[in-house]
Amino acid sequence: MPVIEEISSHAAIQDFKMKRLINNIAKVIFILIIALVVTNVPGAVVDGLSQSQVNLLQSNILYFDSSNYACSGSTSAGNSLDSWMQAEAIMESGNNPKSNSGDLAYGKYQIIPSTWEGYAVAFYPPAEKYPTANLAPSNIQDALVYLANIPVYKEFNGDPFWLAVNWYSPTDDQYYPNKNAPGLNAIPDPGAGNKTTVFDYATSIANAVSTGNLNNTTLSSVSLSYSSAPNFSTYLAQDGGAPTARTSTATSLTSNNCSSSLANDCQIGSGSSKTVTGPNAAILCEAEQYSGIYYLWGGGHGYNSFRLKCPESSISAAASTSTASNPGNCATDCSGLVSVAVDAVYNQDFNWIVSETNGAMEGGGSQYWQQIPISQAQAGDIVTHYAPGDGHVEIVESVNGNTVYTFGSHEPGVQTGPATPPGNINYWNGGAWRYIGPGSNS
C-alpha cells in the first residue's frame, strides 16, 4: 500500500516543515494560556462540586497521605514509534527492504519516489543519493522513516492510530482526535490499488502495536537499524531528539516508577499492603506517584502543558514542597489525575471531565470508558459521583462488598491519596468505568 503524499520540490518541503513547526508552537502556546487561566480560577469548586457536596465529602470521608505507598518491580522505557515502524514494515511489504510492488511504491515501508525525495531533503539528506527506497540499505530506510515521523509522533501524542492515518492518507489526520469521524471510512485513492479504509488500516496498526503481533508476525522480529545509519545522531538532534517514551505496549513498559498493567504488582495500602489486580492496574500505579500533593482545581488537564510544568522526574519530590495554599506544579484535580495517569500509561492525551447528568466521562476519548458493575471494578478502574452541578471521580483500588477503596485528588486543602475510611458503594451513583482504549488490556 503506497504512501499517498506528493511533495515535489525542496521549497515545498521546507514550507511543509515550517508550517508544521508553526502549528505545533501555536498549539503549545494556546494550551499554556488555557492552563494559566484554569489554574487561577478562584473559589472552592471541586471539578464541578457544589459547596454542599464539598461539605458532604468533608463530613463523611476523611483523607490522609500514606507514605508507605510504593510500587515494586522495574520498568523499561517504551517507544511506540519503533513499534509503529515495525507494524508498518509488516503491513506494507512483509518486512522486505527490496520490495517493488509494481505500483510505484518501494522498499520496506512502500514509499513513492516523490515522498522519498521530500523526506530525504527535509529530514535525512544521506538518503538523497538513492532514487527509490528499495535501492537504499535497510538502515537508511529506517533512519528516514524514523526521522520523518518524529514531528508526527509529537503532533499526535504518539498515538499509533494517528501515525498510521498520517502514513496511509495524510490529509485525513485533519480528523484528529475523533476516531469515529465518517471521513475515516473512505478508501484513499482506490485507483492505486488500495482496498482498505483509513479507519481499518489505522486500527490494524494500532492493534498490532498494542498486541505486539500483526499478520501472525511478531513486531519484535522486525529489526530496526536506524541508529547505524550514516550521521543519524546528527540529524536526530536537528529533529529535536527522540520522542519521549510514554506508551505501554505488549513488549515495552511505561517509563514511570510503577510496573505496567501487564505485571499487576503495584503495592497499595488500604488498611494493609496488598497486590493490586486489574487489566488497567498501571493507571492506579501511575496515580500513586502523586500521593501527598495537594489538590488544585484545573490541575492535570492538558497533558502537554502539564508535563512542561511537571516533568516525570520531578513528581517524587513534589509532595515535599506542596502545601494547601501552594499545591505546586504537579498538583491535579480529580479528573485531572485520571487524565494524567491514563496518558502516562497509554499515551492518550484526553481531557476528561465527569458528566453532571449520568456520571460518565465526557470530552475527547470518552468513548474509551466502558461502564461496568461496581462489584466487578478492579484496580485502575474509576468510580464517579454526580448531581446537578456536581461531578467527582476517583481511581479504584479494590471493592469489598459495599465498600469501595479509592485513590484520588479529593478537594482543595487536601492531599492526593487514598480515602479513609473508604467510601460506600451508594455514594458512587455514577457507577464504575473501565478504560478500554488504545493500549489497554481490556
Q: What is the pLDDT of residues 99-124, one digit of tens each?
A: 997 678 999 999 999 999 999 999 99
* Residue 243 per-residue DSSP state: P
- Say what the pLDDT of residue 244 is: 64
b/e sequence 299-312, b meaning 16+ C-beta within 10 Å: bbbbbbbbbeebeb
Cell of 101: 510492488
Burial of 59 (0-12, 13-18, 19+ CB in 10 A): exposed
Task: Say if CB 152 and CB 80 are below 8 A apart.
Answer: no
Residue 321 confidence (pLDDT): 93
Whether 49 has a pLDDT exceeding 50, the answer reads no
* pLDDT above 60: residue 151: yes
- What's the chain's Rg over C-alpha atoms? 23
Query: Which pLDDT value is given to residue 384?
Result: 92
Q: How far apart are CA 360 and CA 371, in angstroms?
A: 8
Contact 303, 157 (CB under 8 A): yes
d(CA 284, CA 379): 6
CATH topology for the 10-24+78-238 domain: Lysozyme (1.10.530)
Q: Specify the pLDDT at position 342.
A: 87
Which of 236-240, 291-295, 343-347 holds the top average pLDDT? 291-295
Q: Which residue has the higher pLDDT, 204 or 244?
A: 204
Phi, psi of 310 (to 5 degrees): -130, 80
Per-residue pLDDT band at 352 (split at 50, 70, 90) = confident
Lowest-confidence pick of 41-50, 111-120, 284-293, 384-393: 41-50
Mean pLDDT of 313-317: 85
Per-residue pLDDT at 171 exceeds 80: yes
Could you tell me which of 362, 365, 427, 419 has the C-alpha nearest to residue 48? 362
Write down the H helix ranges in 97-231: 113-123, 138-155, 160-168, 198-211
Where are the domains positioned within the chain? 10-24+78-238, 45-76+253-435
Backbone torsions φ then ψ of 400, nearest 5 degrees: -135, 100
Give yes or no for residue 46 having a pLDDT over 60.
no
**Residues pairing with 399 in the sheet:** 404
Greatest mean pLDDT among 120-129, 170-179, 375-384, 428-437: 120-129
pTM over 0.75: no
The size of the chain, in residues, is 442
Name which of 32-46, 120-134, 355-369 the model is least confident about: 32-46
Q: Is residue 41 pLDDT above 70, yes or no?
A: no
Average pLDDT in the 401-405 region? 90
What are residue 49's phi and psi, to 5 degrees? -70, 135
Which sign does the torsion angle of CA 391, 397, 403, 408 carry?
negative
pLDDT, greater one: 431 or 389? 431
In the prediction, which pLDDT does 441 show? 64
Mean pLDDT (the chain) is: 76
- Compute the average pLDDT of residues 192-204: 88
Q: What is the DSSP string of 77-103?
A: ---HHHHHHHHHHHHHHSS-TT-B-SS
pLDDT digits (tens, 9 = 90+) for 318-348: 999 999 999 999 999 998 999 888 888 887 7
As a whole number of angstroms, the distance between CA 77 and CA 249 comes to 11
What per-residue confidence (pLDDT) applies to 313? 82
In Å, what is the CA distance from 183 to each residue of 83, 95, 156? 26, 29, 18
